[in-house]
Amino acid sequence: MPDNQPSSEPELPEGWAYVTSGPDKAKHVVHFQSPQKEDTTTFKLTKGAYHAVWLYVMTGLAYPENDHRFEEIIPRGNLQTLEKHDQSAWTDMRTAIVNIHTHCKSFNDESMSTWTSMTNDVLTYVKYALSNLEGPDNFSQSLAVLVGDKYRRKSETDPEPAHDQTYKDAVEVLQDICADLKRSADGYATKCQHHIDKVESFRNTTMSDKTKVDDLDYRFNSKTDHEGKARKCYTDLINGDLATIRADEALQLSTEQSARQEYKDDVTAAATSVTYAWWFPIGTLAAIGVATAFGIKAEQAKKRMEDAERDYGKDVAKERALMTLSNWTSHMGETVHGLDTAMNEAIEAMASIKTMFEQQKSGFDMVQTELGDVTSKFNKDYNLRKRILGKFDECIKEWHTIQKLARDFLDSSSPTISGEKEPKCVGNLEKLPNEAKPPT
């Protein structure tokens, strides 16, 4: 409803407004029915819930996509200490990780845009609804016709105003607008339910995955058992293995460096030993024997150097696998913590959008019925016409409110993590360099 008023006109009390009608822009003062509640909007997309689900999905996408890829990253043979304590831990971790990736990828590909899609639906609907405030046949002008003095009896004794074409046209315009908005709202409500079904399905799958994650989180990270007694968690075993591996890395590095230097010295000695051939022929034979001895020592040093490099590379591979496992087990529990609440809040928010569309449909359906009454009960319907006007005003207020909320949500629907290039809960597989080199 237009609310821009010339400055020369007095300010109206709350609940009253000016409307114009006709080519001469005749101005009327009408009273709008006040809404029963201060805020009639049911639109409440929860940014916090959206971000929690978004972060979980992004984390899941970083996990291995299948069993083979998981085995490449964390070979079972690298977890010998853990295997001695729990032979099913590696298999259970693989199943949980791969399932989470599969479910998150499916949801991301098909439904992660649900929130922004629904929000855009709201904005599209509101934009279309508000467009009916403008143009030659807008409902503001048509409503103003219905409540104009021309079609109002001043007393019960006055003759009934005529049903002229202007009045009939105004009713027809309003009927058409209501029908369009009702169909549109009904279509969006159906789309909302489709989106809700997808998110509910993902929630149920996620809660099943969460049960497995909670069990793994307990096995790997809990330092007390279910009775509160101290226990050695699997992370302690992993950290113990990491300490052993890093000590061996230092040993292999020292061995490699020592063998490399020895190899260089022996090669140099073997190459220069012929200079000792000062006594023919005995000196020559002695020099050849010295060169041969240094050559053998050089080969032995070279083998020790190569063995140390190979063993160091194996240690680095084991360390990479253990660190990745430790990273995943540490963050999995964090990622699913409170996720059930966030998912339920998200679904509740989506349901509120559906409810908003259903209320719009129901409201315009009622207005359509009442518009039929204003032609069949013309001589008693002035208050009814004012009530219709008030209902339209309520809709307009709600449209502006949800439009702002929807835009605010869209502005925050692509979250970034401050100071980080990726969500902190996403497992980073590159914690160690690709090339084996000493740990810092």
Digit-coded pLDDT (tens) for 18-60: 333 333 444 433 333 333 333 434 455 666 777 788 888 888 9
Element (H, E) at 202: helix 165-221
Q: Which residues contact 18 (CB under 8 A, 6 or more apart)?
A: 2, 5, 9, 12, 27, 28, 29
The pair of three-digit structure tokens given for residue 99, joined into one six-digit string:
């399932």
Q: Are residues 212 and 339 in the same domain?
A: yes
Q: Is the pTM of this model over 0.85?
A: no
The pair of three-digit structure tokens given for residue 439, joined into one six-digit string:
């740990």
Q: Are residues 89 and 185 in the same domain?
A: yes
Q: Are residues 197 and 261 in the same domain?
A: no
Q: Are 196 and 350 in contact (CB under 8 A)?
A: yes
Cα–Cα dist 270/304, whole Å: 18
Q: Are 344 and 53 in contact (CB under 8 A)?
A: no
Nearest residue to 50 via CA among 347, 385, 377: 347
* Helices 47-62 and 89-110, axial angle in degrees (round to 10): 120
Q: Tokens 């869209």 appear where?
A: 410
Q: Are residues 139 and 286 in the same domain?
A: no
Q: Are residues 275 and 305 in the same domain?
A: yes
Q: Are residues 100 and 198 in the same domain?
A: yes
Domain count, the chain: 2
Q: Give the end of a domain, one of 264, 285, 313.
A: 313
Give the pLDDT score at 298: 65
401 is in which domain, residue-wise? 49-151+162-233+333-428
What is the average pLDDT score of the chain?
Answer: 73
When pLDDT is cut at 50, 70 and 90, the band that residue 293 belongs to is low
pLDDT in tens, 69-123: 999 999 988 888 888 888 898 999 999 999 999 999 999 998 888 878 888 888 8
27 in any annotated domain: no
pLDDT in tens, 143-200: 778 777 777 777 777 777 777 888 888 888 888 888 988 999 899 999 989 989 999 9
What is the DSSP-derived secondary structure letter of residue 78?
G
Give the pLDDT score at 357: 87
Find the DSSP H helices in 222-338: 234-272, 282-336
Q: Are residues 307 and 373 in the same domain?
A: no
Q: Are residues 301 and 346 in the same domain?
A: no
Cα–Cα dist 123/190, whole Å: 16
Q: Are residues 91 and 205 in the same domain?
A: yes
Q: Are residues 289 and 403 in the same domain?
A: no
Predicted confidence (pLDDT) at residue 280 exceeds the cutoff of 50: no
**Least confident range of 12-21, 270-279, 354-363, 388-397:** 12-21
Q: Which residues contact 154 (CB under 8 A, 6 or more apart)?
A: none
Q: Are residues 265 and 340 in the same domain?
A: no
356 in any annotated domain: yes
Predicted confidence (pLDDT) at residue 269 exceeds the cutoff of 80: no
Q: Are residues 255 and 218 in the same domain?
A: no
Give the pLDDT score at 194: 92
Predicted confidence (pLDDT) at residue 304 exceeds the cutoff of 80: no
Q: How far is CA 189 from the centre of its chain?
A: 22
What is the DSSP-derived secondary structure letter of residue 157?
T
Q: Are 308 and 259 in contact (CB under 8 A)?
A: yes
CATH number, residue 396: 1.20.1170
Give the pLDDT score at 36: 35
When pLDDT is cut at 50, 70 and 90, the band that residue 319 belongs to is confident
Give the pLDDT score at 296: 65
403 in any annotated domain: yes
Give the pLDDT score at 256: 76
Work out the burial of residue 200: count CB atoms within 10 Å of its CB; fewer than 13 is exposed, 13-18 middle, 19 or more buried: middle
Give the pLDDT score at 97: 93
411 in any annotated domain: yes
Other C-beta atoms within 10 Å of 170: how many?
A: 23
Give the pLDDT score at 63: 92
> Of all residues in the chain, what percent carry a pLDDT higher than 70?
69
Give the pLDDT score at 425: 35
Cα–Cα dist 219/231, whole Å: 10
